[in-house]
């Protein structure tokens, strides 16, 4: 198992200069909650470095992005979370609530995806849009529908025959 | 002095040309355009007509509703043809007796191939050493617990060869296991995974696609299938082609249900009698038969087959729309295009689709003469303006098109619209040859929607009309031609990393299509346009050209709504260059581009009468 998550300055800190998304939280934030963010990143294959600092989510995210080799940072305070990019200087790129473990994981996943130049995941977590198209097809019609269709077609054909008097279709 | 409004009611748009006429001098004041309301030639057109005329009035400095300022309205005598499009699968529908998971989670765990028996996660602790098992893990289980249970089982000598997970935990579990196993995650309908069955899970390395489960013979080897059973597994293998991860589960025999719906035959009735062509033979064979039967009198489909049902639906729609008896609806032309139709694979757990071959058919229905006089009377009463019905649409189109600089008779006009592709040819003596063909913008939309699996026709229309790009960072996009564009403001996060449509004014519309890249959408779009517009242009010119020889045409002016498209006119110009023809997008009155030809012609003809 490789290193995916570590607190700056502790014994399990990620190797210096390792490409990682940075998470900076205010001191009230527990490690167990930070781990939910790390789960989101790890599932995407991106390590997360964690540090603690006073400030609001927007400032912390900006600070985190400037320290990240991947130039993506997450900031979290008691009110919510923000994702900042080094390139976007004036405000965080994404701001979201961070009230549940699902939300925290989503933030981690979104930050990791951004660092990979991939679309952010659907909100609400697990449910993905269907990977393949969803046009209703013949196979989806129920047996009743099909019988109705066949009857309709047969009736229409019969009516047509009658109207034409059978003269045209030799 | 009189103010004359030429109004052209087309299948998709109602266009107005407003002009001041003094003696033989015409000064064009403004143009208007609005979507056509209802089927052309019916009283429902009124509202679209008001809005189109109102727009022109406003642009000319009048009030929007100041219809009284107009002295004469000239309506086109719309061609009594209406197009419709339908889609049918050609390959038969087969229900397989296997369950498969072929969706493409963005991050499956591990890599490799695992074969074993499916068990529930709770039963993992009871599995005997030596058993080859694949647990199906519901989302209620935490990934750390799942990983430790699998690790314990492995330690006990249970051969856990792979795992199937409901939540997006594949990588998290994998990272906590002592050895690498393939894990397919994000399987939302995990309860539909049959337990106690032989199963194979494959996860390809990043950047690769599954090889084993996309090959029918490898599946046959794994599950010891007979040649007949192998034949039935083909839709499963096809549905898995191109995926990074896949699961196939063999369910017991006896659940095999097979149903074949023959695609059916088309009966094309022409001057020499009836000819038959099987839809399975594909678009080319159908088209050759249509040509052999020209001029087509009527077309039927074989009753009780897919195509039979489809042709009846077309007749029914047309009958409903126009009020003509179903038996009097004559299908006069047909354009077939080979396409791909997503067919749901029965036995799929995540709603998997396999792209079956199909055929898109556009048909042209000739109706009774459209009741334009009735409409004219109604317009006159409604707006309090004198209304005349002008000449034949094709004549008007030619008059309008000839205002394009650099044109002179003999000239051919290709009017590429939404419902039909029309061609007319004007000889030096002013006589005109004319044809209406099935298949135009709407058919392109249908093909795009089908091949990309989109349900919204508005989205298909948008894909048809706009070039693509991929949002590569918060500040830049890469366009489909490879060019990079930078923006001053950050692009919205919802579009980040996505394929998007680049609308006019640099407005980005992100496409929420998973696993479909720019190249695939681009090639689908361009192929659809080639198959419909380029093919139809040549087909149409063959019918109106002197001696049916396209090479004898010198000038072709392309007009109509679809000529405005950013690539159609170029495609047609390119294709016609091979015949030595000067072809290009029209520029009506040097200002209007390919739009407004008929409306302009209507105003011009008011003087030349």
CA distance B29 to A39: 65
Q: Mean pLDDT for chain B?
A: 88
- Which residues of B are less than 8 Å from A133 in CB distance? 342, 353, 452-454
What is residue B331's predicted lDDT score, i.e. its pLDDT? Answer: 87
Q: Which of A43, A135, A156 sits opposite B326 (nearest CB)?
A: A156
DSSP B515: T
What is residue B367's predicted lDDT score, i.e. its pLDDT? Answer: 66
- Residue from B185, B339, B493, B518 to probe the interface with A (highest A Cβ count within 10 Å): B493
Would the CB atoms of B514 and A87 count as touching at under 8 Å?
no
- Which residues of B are less than 8 Å from A39 in CB distance? 143, 172
CA distance A133 to A152: 28
CA distance A106 to A74: 11
In chain B, residues 140-199 whose CB comes closer than 8 Å to chain A: 143, 166-172, 175-176, 186, 188
- Residue from B87, B95, B103, B107 to probe the interface with A (highest A Cβ count within 10 Å): B107
Q: Which of A120, A128, A164 sits opposite B496 (nearest CB)?
A: A120
Burial (Cβ within 10 Å: 0-12, 13-18, ≥19) of residue B400 = buried
What is residue B347's predicted lDDT score, i.e. its pLDDT? Answer: 66
Q: Mean pLDDT for chain A?
A: 79
Q: How far is B193 from chain A (nearest CA, A)?
A: 17
Nearest to B522, CA basis, from B479, B483, B477, B468: B468
Q: Taking CA B358 as the corner, what is the angle to CA B354 and CA B362, rounded to the nearest 5 degrees?
A: 140
Give the nearest chain A residue to B346 (CA atoms): A139
What is residue B203's predicted lDDT score, i.e. its pLDDT? Answer: 95
Beta strands in B427-524 (DSSP E): 432-438, 468-471, 476-479, 484-486, 499-502, 508-510
What contacts A132, CB < 8 A, 6 or more positions away? B102, B103, B342, B351, B352, B353, B453, B515
What is residue B81's predicted lDDT score, i.e. its pLDDT? Answer: 65
Would the CB atoms of A153 and B303 count as touching at under 8 Å?
yes
Structure token pair of residue B276: 């038959």
Structure token pair of residue A78: 């008691």
- Residue from B86, B300, B344 to probe the interface with A (highest A Cβ count within 10 Å): B344
- Which residues of B are less than 8 Å from A157 in CB distance? 303, 308, 312
Q: How far is A1 from chain B (nearest CA, A)?
A: 5
Could you report the per-residue pLDDT of B376-435, keeping only the tens digit for each?
899 999 999 999 988 777 788 888 999 999 988 889 999 998 888 889 999 888 888 888
Would the CB atoms of A138 and B315 count as touching at under 8 Å?
no
Domains in chain B, please, with CATH? 1-78+370-402+596-609 (3.30.420.40), 83-91+260-365 (3.90.470.30), 99-249 (3.50.30.70), 442-526 (2.40.50.140)
- Residue from A43, A65, A82 to probe the interface with B (highest B Cβ count within 10 Å): A43
Whether the ω angle into residue B112 lies within 30 degrees of 0, i.e. cis, is: no
Is A160 contained in some domain? Answer: no
Q: Which of B172, B449, B454 sits opposite A43 (nearest CB)?
A: B172
Q: Is the pLDDT of residue A147 over 80?
A: no
Is A99 contained in some domain? Answer: yes
Q: Which of B171, B316, B510 sits opposite A42 (nearest CB)?
A: B171
Could you report the per-residue pLDDT of A55-114, keeping only the tens digit for each?
999 999 999 999 999 999 999 998 899 999 999 999 999 999 888 999 999 999 999 999
Would the CB atoms of B273 and A170 count as touching at under 8 Å?
yes
Would the CB atoms of B346 and A139 count as touching at under 8 Å?
yes
Is A102 contained in some domain? Answer: yes
SS (H, E, C) B107-164: CCECCEEEEEEEEECHHHHHCCCCCEEEEEECCCCCHHHHHHHHHHHHHCCCEECCEE
What contacts B372, CB < 8 A, 6 or more positions away? B41, B75, B76, B77, B78, B389
Q: How far is A132 from chain B (nearest CA, A)?
A: 6
Could you report the per-residue pLDDT of B131-188, keeping only the tens digit for each?
999 999 999 999 999 999 999 999 999 999 999 999 999 999 999 999 999 999 988 8
Domain that holds residue A71: 5-130
Would the CB atoms of B175 and A1 count as touching at under 8 Å?
yes
Q: Tell me whether B262 touches chain A (CB under 8 Å).
A: no
Would the CB atoms of B475 and A87 count as touching at under 8 Å?
yes
Q: How far is B275 from chain A (nearest CA, A)?
A: 10
Main-chain phi, psi angles of B436, to 5 degrees: -120, 130
Would the CB atoms of B353 and A42 count as touching at under 8 Å?
no
| Total number of domains in chain A | 1
Could you report the per-residue pLDDT of B193-204, keeping only the tens digit for each?
889 999 999 999
Contact B398/B411 with Cβ under 8 angstroms? yes
Cα dihedral B143→B149→B150→B155 (10° resolution): 150
H or E element, residue B197? none
Q: How far is A92 from chain B (nearest CA, A)?
A: 10
Q: How far is B315 from chain A (nearest CA, A)?
A: 10
Q: Where are the alpha helices (DSSP H) in B142-282?
A: 143-155, 170-174, 216-223, 227-240
The model's confidence at residue A138, banded by pLDDT at 50, 70 and 90, is: very low
Is A73 contained in some domain? Answer: yes
Nearest to A3, CA basis, from A17, A15, A19: A15
What is residue A167's predicted lDDT score, i.e. its pLDDT? Answer: 40
Q: Is the pLDDT of residue A130 over 50?
A: no
Is A58 contained in some domain? Answer: yes
- Which residues of B are less than 8 Å from A94 in CB distance? 493
Q: How far is B342 from chain A (nearest CA, A)?
A: 7
Note the ipTM here: 0.78
Contact B325/B307 with Cβ under 8 angstroms? no
Alpha-carbon separation of residue B355 from A80, B89, B93, B204 (angstroms)? 44, 10, 11, 22
Q: Which of A118, A135, A157 sits opposite B455 (nearest CB)?
A: A135
Alpha-carbon separation of residue B463 from A10, B136, B162, B364, B418 (angstroms)? 52, 39, 40, 25, 15
- Which residues of A are less than 8 Å from B175 in CB distance? 1-2, 4, 42
Write down the residue that tokens 């004898």 correspond to.
B552
Contact B557/B407 with Cβ under 8 angstroms? yes
Is A88 contained in some domain? Answer: yes
Is A166 contained in some domain? Answer: no
Give the nearest chain B residue to A117 (CA atoms): B497
Is A165 contained in some domain? Answer: no
Q: Which of A43, A88, A117 sits opposite B490 (nearest CB)?
A: A88
Compute the Cα dihedral for B368, B373, B377, B378 and give only its sign. positive
What is residue A2's predicted lDDT score, i.e. its pLDDT? Answer: 58
Q: How far is B234 from chain A (nearest CA, A)?
A: 16
Would the CB atoms of A170 and B267 count as touching at under 8 Å?
no
- Which residues of B are less than 8 Å from A85 in CB distance? 474, 490
For chain B, the farthest-separated pair of C-alpha atoms sits apart, in whole angstroms, at: 102
CATH of the domain at A115: 3.40.50.10150
Ranges of residues in chain B whose predicted pLDDT is under 50: 93, 95, 254-256, 258
- Which residues of A are less than 8 Å from B472 in CB distance? 117
- Residue from A88, A123, A138, A146 to probe the interface with B (highest B Cβ count within 10 Å): A138
Q: How far is B164 from chain A (nearest CA, A)?
A: 15
Q: Calculate helix-pair angle for B518-529, B568-577, nearest 10 degrees.
A: 60
């Amino acid at each position: 198992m490789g290193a995916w998550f570590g607190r700056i300055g502790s014994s399990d800190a990620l190797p210096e200069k390792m490409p990682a998304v940075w998470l900076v939280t205010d001191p009230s934030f527990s490690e167990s909650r930070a781990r939910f963010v790390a789960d989101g990143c790890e599932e995407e294959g991106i390590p997360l470095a964690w540090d603690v600092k006073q400030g609001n989510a927007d400032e912390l995210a900006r600070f985190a992005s400037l320290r990240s080799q991947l130039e993506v940072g997450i900031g979290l305070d008691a009110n919510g979370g923000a994702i900042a990019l080094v390139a976007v200087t004036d405000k965080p790129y994404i701001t979201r609530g961070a009230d549940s473990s699902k939300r925290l994981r989503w933030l981690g996943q979104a930050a990791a995806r951004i660092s990979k130049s991939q679309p952010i995941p659907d909100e609400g977590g697990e449910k993905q849009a269907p990977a393949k198209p969803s046009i209703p097809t013949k196979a989806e019609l129920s047996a009743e529908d099909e019988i109705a269709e066949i009857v309709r077609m047969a009736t229409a054909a019969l009516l047509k025959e009658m109207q034409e008097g059978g003269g045209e279709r030799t | 002095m009189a103010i004359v409004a030429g109004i052209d009611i087309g299948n998709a748009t109602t266009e107005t040309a407003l002009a001041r006429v003094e003696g033989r001098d015409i000064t064009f004041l403004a143009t208007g355009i609005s979507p056509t309301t209802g089927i052309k030639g019916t009283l429902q057109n009124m509202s679209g007509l008001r809005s189109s005329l109102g727009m022109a009035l406003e642009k000319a400095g009048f009030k929007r509703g100041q219809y009284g300022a107009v002295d004469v309205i000239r309506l086109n005598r719309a061609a009594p043809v209406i197009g419709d499009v339908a889609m049918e699968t050609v390959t038969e529908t087969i229900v397989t007796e296997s369950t498969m998971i072929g969706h493409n989670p963005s991050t499956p765990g591990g890599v490799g191939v695992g074969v074993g028996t499916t068990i529930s996660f709770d039963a993992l602790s009871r599995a005997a050493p030596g058993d080859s098992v694949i647990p199906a893990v519901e989302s209620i289980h935490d990934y750390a617990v799942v990983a430790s249970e699998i690790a314990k089982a492995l330690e006990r000598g249970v051969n856990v060869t792979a795992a199937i997970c409901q939540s997006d935990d594949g990588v998290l579990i994998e990272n906590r296991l002592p050895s690498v196993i393939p894990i397919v995650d994000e399987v939302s309908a995990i309860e539909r995974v049959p337990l106690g069955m032989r199963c194979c899970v494959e996860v390809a390395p990043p950047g690769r696609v599954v090889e084993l489960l996309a090959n029918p013979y490898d599946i046959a080897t794994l599950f010891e299938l007979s040649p007949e059973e192998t034949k039935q597994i083909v839709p499963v293998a096809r549905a898995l082609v191109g995926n990074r991860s896949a699961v196939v589960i063999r369910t017991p025999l006896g659940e095999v249900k097979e149903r074949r719906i023959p695609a059916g035959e088309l009966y094309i009735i022409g001057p020499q009698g009836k000819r038959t062509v099987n839809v399975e033979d594909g678009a080319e064979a159908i088209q050759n038969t249509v040509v052999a039967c020209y001029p087509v009198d009527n077309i039927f489909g074989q009753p009780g087959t897919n195509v039979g049902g489809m042709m009846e639906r077309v007749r029914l729609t047309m009958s409903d729309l126009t009020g003509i008896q179903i038996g009097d609806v004559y299908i006069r032309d047909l354009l077939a295009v080979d396409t791909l139709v997503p067919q749901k694979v029965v036995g799929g757990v995540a709603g998997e689709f396999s792209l079956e071959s199909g055929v898109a058919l556009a048909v042209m229905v000739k109706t009774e003469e459209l009741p334009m006089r009735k409409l004219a009377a109604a317009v006159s009463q409604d707006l309090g303006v004198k209304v005349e019905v002008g000449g034949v649409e094709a004549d008007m189109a030619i008059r309008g098109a000839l205002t394009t600089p650099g044109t002179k008779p003999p000239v051919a006009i290709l009017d590429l619209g939404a419902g039909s592709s029309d061609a007319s040819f004007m000889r030096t003596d002013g006589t005109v040859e004319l044809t209406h063909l099935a298949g135009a913008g709407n058919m392109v939309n249908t093909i795009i929607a089908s091949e990309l699996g989109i349900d919204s026709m508005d989205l298909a229309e948008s894909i048809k009309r706009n070039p693509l790009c991929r949002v590569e960072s918060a500040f830049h996009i890469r366009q489909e031609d490879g060019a990079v564009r930078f923006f001053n403001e950050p692009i919205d996060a919802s579009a980040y990393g996505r394929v998007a449509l680049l609308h006019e004014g640099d407005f980005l519309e992100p496409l929420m299509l998973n696993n479909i890249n720019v190249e695939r959408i681009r090639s689908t779009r361009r192929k659809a346009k080639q198959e419909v517009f380029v093919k139809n242009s040549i087909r149409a010119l063959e019918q109106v050209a002197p001696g049916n020889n396209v090479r004898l045409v010198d000038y072709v002016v392309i007009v109509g709504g679809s000529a405005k498209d950013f690539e159609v006119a170029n495609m047609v110009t390119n294709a016609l260059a091979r015949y030595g023809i000067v072809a290009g997008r029209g520029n009506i009155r040097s200002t209007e581009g390919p739009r407004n030809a008929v409306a302009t012609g209507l105003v011009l003809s008011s003087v030349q009468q």
